[in-house]
Amino acid sequence: MKHFIWLLMLSLSLPACAQRKLPRRSKASTSLAKPAQATEPVLVFQRTPCYGTCPAYKATIFADGRVEYDGQRFVTLLGKHTLRLPVATVQGMLAEAKRIDFNSLQARYSHNTSDLPSTIITVHPVGQSAKVVSAEEDYPEKLQGYINYLKAKLDPLADTKPTE
């Protein structure tokens, strides 16, 4: 009986010994951690489907070069993927939007023709408000130039088929 009490006391004291405090992280160790990924996209470029073979995809672009891509139709790369662009390319896309005064464009260029594909562009530079422009037809030349510029940068990611 004496041994039983001794074993009982020993077994109750072991868990208490195992619960020791872990050392706290110093502020110096947390500053070495990777910075969090940008949570807000700076640009979204979407090409919508049509009744033909128009490439359809959406590229959500972040300041760090990350691209959340969703290939939908008539692109080689189908489905959701995380891709990369050089940060300088992303900065160039935003600089081009500023150069053409993207914020001064109308929100929509359309005659409600249902079989035409749309190009929807959202430009949202860090610390500024977002501007969305949807273009189907009859849009200004400077917007057409910007669309062509973005296609040249993003279509290779989507690996679009030559039939547009």
Q: How far apart are CA 35 and CA 59, in angstroms?
A: 23
Which domains are assigned to the chain? 43-158 (3.30.1560.10)
pLDDT at 125: 93
Which residues make Cβ contacts (< 8 Å) with residue 159, sequence separation at least 6?
75, 76, 77
Which residue carries 């700076």 as its tokens?
42
pLDDT at 61: 98
pLDDT at 34: 42
Indicate if the pLDDT at residue 131 is higher than 90. yes
Mean pLDDT of the residues in the chain = 81
Lowest mean pLDDT among 66-80, 86-100, 147-161: 147-161
The residue that leads in pLDDT, 109 or 113, is 109
The tokens describing 85, both together, are 């662009």
Q: Strand, coil or helix: what is 154?
A: helix
User: For residue range 17-51, what is the model confidence (pLDDT) as tens digits?
Assistant: 444 444 444 444 333 444 445 689 999 999 999 88
Indicate if the pLDDT at residue 104 is higher than 90. yes
pTM of the predicted structure, to 2 decimals: 0.73
